[in-house]
Chain A
Amino acid sequence: MSIVTVQLGQCGNQIGYEVFNAICRDFHSTHGLCSKKENESYQAASKERFFSEEETGVPVARAVLVDMEPKVISQTLSRAARSGLWKYDHQSHFCQKQGSGNNWANGYSVHGPRYRDVIMNLVQKEAEKCDRLSGFFTVMSMAGGTGSGMGTFVTQCLRDAFPTSFILNQVIWPYGTGEVIVQNYNSVLTLSHLYQSSDALLVHENDAIHKICAQLMNIKKISFGDVNQVIAHQLGSVFQPTYASEGASQYSRSPLGDLMESLVPHPEFKMLGLRNIPQMSENSLAYSTFTWPGLIKHLRQMLIANATMEEGINWQVRPPLPGHPVPQKASPNKAQHFNTSIANLVVLRGKDVQSVDLGVFREPALYTSWLNPQDAVNVWKTPRAFNKYEKSAALVSNSQFLLKLTDNIVGKAWNMFASKAYLHQYTKFGIEEEDFLDSFTTLEQVISSYASL
């Protein structure tokens, strides 16, 4: 089953390109470390999921590119075409001239409705190219105007037009110290609205990925390209084909459905974090070996200590002991509190996956009490190695990962809102103070729910 990706705004388009690129390179890779038959099966599944075939044989990404100004889309289309390995359908894009000016209200209330029909037509065309549609990815940043505002509107349209398909929003959390001054407003408006129409929000933080580039990949002059490639690698490590259950003989046909089922049992809890290990520069890769127990141990500690990468993990954090009273309600301010999960998905790729024991992830102490711990953990596996990593483990988690971040952003936005700064820029496009208040209320609710896990 196929996934249609909608790339929104500069960030969405730049990342979308890297994702398709990473996936294409991966299925062409000869370092699969598995049987020929396995490899062929993997390639076929991956191709079908993300690309459609053309007469020329060059895979065409299943994507719709949307932006309110032309430069980025034009660059993205030509970069893909130049690669020779894959390309975009050059009809499958929509752009305008002026951009959204970093104004969520402009993206949501003006551009969205104005161009809704054209964009939904493009999406419909892509959807029709799929034999079976598994669902939609959207890729967007929260900080700007098009990805955030228009992206939110488009998500609502997708929900209306495809009520039974799954929608997973990849949301890029901006750097804490500004990329855009009104990013906190834009983020609050985006998150609160997406909560209504999206099935789940998969969050990538620029700050965290930047650190990975600096400390793990050893990149000296980090560019957005570098950051985007890491994000693409992380996404690929989750969404490339896998076997979703023990003893399955076929690659899973419904990755988005499986994901939602495993991770989103309750509509109040939709924020997902993504971690992936190991992560390193290609040069170092040749000299490193990993064991599954080691990787699993690190991944688990990253989960419970809320670490974003495998260096600098706080090993002091421990799950509460069974039988002891639950520690005081986690306040978002406590630095070292234990990260409680609702559900986790672990994706394992590479050598000897069959032998991996995930018992440490199934400990009841890691989870809230509503789900049976057996149901709270799902595992996807494939012996086919991903992107030259002999072994690779990814974690998608519905937990308190994003609690502090969300709280911070809401705090800063509230602070600005109290002084009424920049509000005139939003009201001029139809987003009033009451709309802001509604958004704040929604998010305080989400924060409160996650905090009381």
Chain B
Amino acid sequence: MTQSVVVQVGQCGNQVGCRFWDLALREHAAVNKKGIYDEALSSFFRNVDTRAGGDGADIHKGKIFSLKARALLIDMEEGVVNEILQGPLREVFDSKQLITDVSGSGNNWAVGHKQYGNQYREHIVEKLRRTAEHCDCLQCFFVIHSMGGGTGSGLGTFVLNVLEDEFPEVYRFVTSVYPSGEDDVITSPYNSVLAMKELNEHADCVLPIENESLFSIVSKIHQMTNSGKLGSTVKQNSLLTLSAGRIKTEQEKPFDAMNNIVANLLLNLTSSARFEGSLNMDLNEVSMNLVPFPRLHYLVSSLTPLYTLADVNVPSRRLDQMFSDAFSKDHQLIQADPKHSLYLACALLVRGNVQVSDLRRNIERLKPSLHFVSWNQEGWKTGLCSVPPVGHSHSLLALANNTCVKPTFIELKDRFMKLYKKKAHLHHYLHVDGMEQSCFSEAISSLSDLIEEYSQLDATKGVPRTDPSRLKIAV
């Protein structure tokens, strides 16, 4: 069994990360009734005997003493991390896993990346090494951050570089929250595009998220659970937006519901690596199957169902609905419509009481309405994990490498160019040691190249297929 380490950077990264740890504990508590520290738990948690004080030694088997998250919390302000350390999750984090500062990055990628990056590099490397040493087989780093600010975006991508340099064999999966159109941070386009270049070059897979999509999903769930008709039959603990151990009516912090969705995304993505199933899908398989060309590693994700009705018997119609929903644009975690764009590859990870025949039936059913690139007509990667998420009998995570990400990138580029043409706010960046105009031009050029690659693929959509001729053998 392998381990993964979560590196949460910046305000957004830490808030999402916090939700992730909350839900991970809940998930394992639901499955692990005997309180034994098992392989599944060890993928994200260490078991430490803290009674002796100091840094307890790791306990690899037997009873659970004290679970510590395999995480690194990085923020250049103290507010968010302090809150976490005072909240219900304080026991899960070790003070040695934190890197904080006081003044923040001022929504400036250059400050995050160049200034704090260089300042804290050694610190970061040292803490990463310690976390890695506690793992006997480290498979993946999950970086969680937002693109629009300064710390998450700048320092977060700096950390990505460090990960590649220091741990080249370990996968780097990045969950990036992209800024929305009405983002109140004026310089978010700069920050995002500068970060994109780093993601293009140093990430193995990127899961882009947009707040607008999370928001509509949250609204939809509220609607369903509060409306008279279905409200009473929805199982309360099944909402995708729910935090662990809280009843719905209790006052939640504003972004908690949205962040819980992202946390669930990560839990589902790693479920098949942690729990058993008839067709396992590990993280290295995700990267292998969904990334046909090194730079095209942006995966659009969707999670279904959003909630479960209390009705225990699941007729296969409901199951099939789950599959249909996964492809609808309302369930995607970015503003995109994969059905009307071109698929390069698609992965379906099913959890719970679902068998291979259900999977095949639905693939056959949905295939005709989807456009796949000519050289990957049956580009499906499937996984079956027997353990469902808490509150559900089954669930589905769909990951698509699809050209529908292009509009998001084009918009980002447009917003960047609007500012850049007028050289607005540029001096704040160039001011920073190590930052030059060429950083900007390289970044926008990297983004343009990426958009061009997607455009070329789009151009092949709908064109009648001519298969390349096969090798001829002399008889």
> What residues make up the interface of A, taking CB atoms closer than 8 Å to B?
10, 14, 69-72, 75, 97-103, 145, 175-182, 210, 213-214, 219-225, 227, 410-412, 414-416, 418-422, 424-425, 440-441, 444-445, 448, 452
8 A-B pairs in the complex with CB atoms less than 8 angstroms apart: A177-B380, A178-B382, A181-B380, A210-B360, A221-B355, A414-B470, A424-B294, A444-B472
* B292 at interface, CB cutoff 8 A: yes
- Complex contact A419–B375 (CB within 8 A): yes
Contacts of B356 in A (CB 8 A): 210, 222-224, 227
Pick the contact of B376: A101, A213, A219, A416 (CB < 8 A). Answer: A416
- Distance from A321 Cβ to chain B, minimum over Cβ atoms (Å): 26
Interface residues of B in 268-321 (CB under 8 A from A): 276, 278-280, 282, 284-285, 287-294
Beyond A175-B360, A411-B470, 18 additional pairs, beta carbon < 8 A: A69-B1, A97-B136, A98-B282, A103-B284, A103-B288, A177-B378, A182-B288, A210-B356, A213-B357, A221-B357, A224-B278, A224-B384, A421-B292, A422-B292, A424-B293, A425-B288, A444-B471, A445-B473
In this complex, what residue of B is CB-closest to A96?
Answer: B137
Chain B 452-475 residues near chain A, CB threshold 8 A: 467-468, 470-473, 475
Chain B residues with CB under 8 Å of chain A are 1-2, 39, 136-137, 139, 276, 278-280, 282, 284-285, 287-294, 344-345, 355-358, 360, 363-364, 367, 374-382, 384, 467-468, 470-473, 475
Considering the chains assembled together, what is the distance between the CA atoms of A224 and B354 in angstroms? 11
Closest A residue to B169 using CB positions: A98
Q: Which residues on the B side are within 8 Å of A425 (C-beta)? A: 288, 291
Q: Assess the B470–A181 pair: CB atoms within 8 A.
A: no
User: Contact between A101 and B287 (Cβ–Cβ < 8 Å)?
Assistant: yes
Known: A415-B374, A416-B375, A425-B291. A101 touches B282 (CB 8 A): yes
Which chain B residues border A177 with CB–CB below 8 Å? 360, 363-364, 367, 378, 380
User: A445 — which chain B residues lie within 8 A by C-beta?
Assistant: 473
A421 touches B293 (CB 8 A): yes
A177-B364, A411-B470 as given contacts; A418 in contact with B357, CB under 8 Å = no
Q: Are A448 and B278 in contact (CB under 8 A)?
A: no
Known: A71-B1, A224-B278, A425-B288. A176 touches B378 (CB 8 A): yes
Interface centre among B279, B356, B358 (most CB of A within 10 A): B356
The CA-CA distance from A97 to B384 in the complex, in Å, is 19
The residues of A that contact B294 with a CB separation of less than 8 Å are: 424
Please give, as numbers and ranges, the residues of chain A lying within 8 Å of B279 by CB-CB distance.
10, 179, 224
Ranked 10 nearest A-B pairs via Cβ: A101-B284, A178-B380, A222-B357, A421-B292, A97-B137, A418-B468, A223-B355, A419-B375, A224-B278, A181-B289
Q: Is the CB of B280 within 8 A of A415?
A: no
Chain B residues positioned under 8 Å from A416 (CB to CB): 375-376
In the bound complex, what is the Cα–Cα distance between A358 and B344 (angstroms)? Answer: 51
**Chain B residue at minimal CB-CB distance from A447:** B473
Separation of A445 and B293 alpha carbons in the complex (Å): 30
* Interface contact B139-A98, CB-CB below 8 Å: yes
Which of chain B's residues have a CB closer than 8 A to the CB of A422?
A: 288, 291-292
- Among A145, A181, A227, A414, contact of B345 (Cβ-Cβ < 8 Å): A181
* Contact A97-B289, Cβ < 8 Å, known A178-B381, A221-B355, A221-B357: no
Smallest CB–CB gap between A361 and chain B, Å? 30
State A103–B286 Cα separation when bound (angstroms): 11
Q: Shortest Cβ distance from A115 into chain B, in angstroms?
A: 15
A180 to B363, CA, bound (A): 13
Which among A180, A440, A441 is the interface contact of B381 at CB below 8 angstroms?
A180
Q: Which residues on B sit within 8 Å (CB–CB) of A222?
A: 355-357
Would you call B475 and A411 a contact (CB within 8 A)? Answer: no
Cα-based distance from A178 to B2 in the complex (angstroms): 26
Cross-interface CB contact of A99 among B282, B377, B473, cutoff 8 Å: B282
| A424 to B137 Cα, complex, angstroms | 24
Considering residues A10, A223, A225, A410, which has the most beta carbons from chain B within 10 angstroms of its beta carbon? A223
CB distance from B28 to the nearest CB of A (A): 16
